[in-house]
Structure 1
């Protein structure tokens, strides 16, 4: 349904499913899966043993693949899959980045909010500029729910463009692929670090780490799913998180001014950092819970509190 979409269009190249349900029976549904894929020109493949496919990927790591409705020759398709460029070294952000600036107004709806959470009307205290590298819309809804005024700008924006908007805080969004080729974003973030509080999610976490002097690497087994356990080092609590990434921050490369705040308990990789010298922090996972658990939604309030502290420090 249109109420739950997280972008202006889906950005996947293909969709594989064990069995395609031809009946849309949910009371909120506005069409079938097949209709949705057809509407957006996405190839879908049904009748695949997806459990077997997942077992293979979990054993050997991420693999190249190809879907075709015209070329059905096995050898030809294997050659095409092997010739595909893969993810490493590609700037996929430019394929999904928006072309225009958006002044975001929408808050959380009843289906995005926790059952015990009520919508509270708050004054738009702070102006947050969000750098969109492929941003999920529920992130903007969470920030708006806190009373922030949200301006979403293309991820290609320069630090001059951003600072001209006079933000109280800057948000670095999620996005696709390898962060290292996105040199323009890394440069922008490095220039913003001493100027304004920063909060990053997923790709934004990796870009903040790169801008702070760390390195990233491609995971053999990417983190996918809505049940990834993460340790909050400060509190000792375990958060069940939603994750979807194939790269991570390299711990051996971490400079002294970056502190590890969260760890993925499946493989002990870095799941969150904070800057010891600047008002900046980030996490590798998705706290906006769309879809996924709500364990980490406190991070949005943490960002709001960080802005408050910085504003208090400059006015005192």
Structure 2
């Protein structure tokens, strides 16, 4: 079966006339950028979307253009991934409703942030991009139906830096915003590897996605336009180009709704394809670095993450 989609297609192209009626989907960071486009594209096809946002008023303004006409409905819930208390409150509220999910998309994130800490004292990029999603998704596992999927957005930036499992919060080494971002995006892939291993017997699969280099999102708010362009131009493949937001959302919806679950479970995907390991040092090359999909390191990160968030997950 040829399930690949041409790499420069949009989320609209990938989903086509697919009917998602009856599907319930949770998306973090649904108020802007890739999360907003993903929300719009699947809501238009009948999925009931629950989007998390930090600011409910701004989130409602962002979805106003399409929420009223979305067949399945769109609702927003408040979530600050930089606060474990907020994560727990959000997860507890969703669990109290008891309504299952077919897909959870961990889309929210921060990039190249200056040295900051979350409300719980974690380095901000590791805390928001990995630990917040780790706690949220794991607490929501009881709501995942058999046949459901978890999609976590990573980045080709994981190729520039491994995660230091002995010092993930930069407590003993000098802080570098790109080493931090690369490590956090590596953590996203490692989390998917371990989560997929733990849940596949239940019929739940997890996938890591690189959406492409998408310049027109709030993710770049910590960088000047010149600095960001210098980053995307560095060591880039001559065949590589930046993507629009609709193109950037394509691999997310492809992995969540189009590709066979067994093909993408535990894998790293980009350009609507499963990518094979590529240990070239060139950051813009396709594929995950071997350290990002190492199962032993994935198991170790899981244990570290449980200790940091103060919870154990026995699944």
Q: Structure 2 length as normaliser, TM-score?
A: 0.29
Give the helix-richer structure, 1 or 2. 2
Q: Which has the larger radius of gyration?
A: 1
Give the strand-richer structure, 1 or 2. 1
Q: RCO greater where, 1 or 2, for CA within 8 Å and sep 6 or more?
A: 2
Q: Structure 1 length as normaliser, TM-score?
A: 0.29
